[in-house]
Amino acid sequence: MKTIGLIGGMSWESSVEYYRIINEEIKNRLGGLHSAKCLLYSVDFEEIERFQAGGEWEKAGKLLGDVAHSLEKGGADFIIICTNTMHRVIDFVEEKIRIPILHIADTTAKQIKKSNLNIVGLLGTKYTMEQDFYKSRIESKGIKVLVPNGAEGIILGCTEIGLLVKQEDSEVPLFDTTVIHAVEAVNAALEH
């Protein structure tokens, strides 16, 4: 089993969900008392949010890059950033490490494709909805992204939305990026 490096704390509530989902998925697949090999680095979200609000994405990216480097040095085989919005700075993070990052938009697009949908709505933070970094990555996979109406399915593009909105609350398919990303991290960890 590979070791998952989780960059969390944005928010800690969604980081708890990642940890829970990953470990439940490992136990379901491997049985017994198995749990995930993972390292969690939880940042102080107050600092990250100040960078976001001030448009200081490079500073945020360099901070997360340092965190990813620490996880790599600690033995992580790959990295996941436990939030949608901070994938905005993935290029800065990738510069600091040699191990791969499992991108949340790529894993979400893969799940949408499995559902045979071509048009989805996107709900998330204002940064995720208004900036192009997330939407364009999904659209590069051949999926039209709407913000926020007229869709066949909806991406829950903020890691906390899935804590509030469940599939039974919607008539169209919901794609909870936290669950999708966490399960895909398990897939990557169990690859041989």
Q: Spell out the residues 6+ positions from residue 68 whose beta carbon is closer than 8 angstroms to its own.
A: 5, 7, 79, 93, 96, 97, 101
The position carrying tokens 């989902």 is: 21
CB-based contact 41:25 (threshold 8 Å): no
Exactly one of 38, 128, 158, 178 is catalytic; name it. Answer: 158
Exactly one of 38, 82, 83, 85 is catalytic; name it. Answer: 83
CA 119 to CA 136: how far, in whole Å? 13
Cβ atoms < 10 Å from Cβ of 99: 16
Decide if 83 is catalytic: yes
**DSSP H helical ranges for 102-147:** 104-114, 126-130, 132-139
CA 100 to CA 10: how far, in whole Å? 20
CA 178 to CA 17: how far, in whole Å? 7
Decide if 82 is catalytic: no
Q: Please list the active-site residues.
A: 83, 158
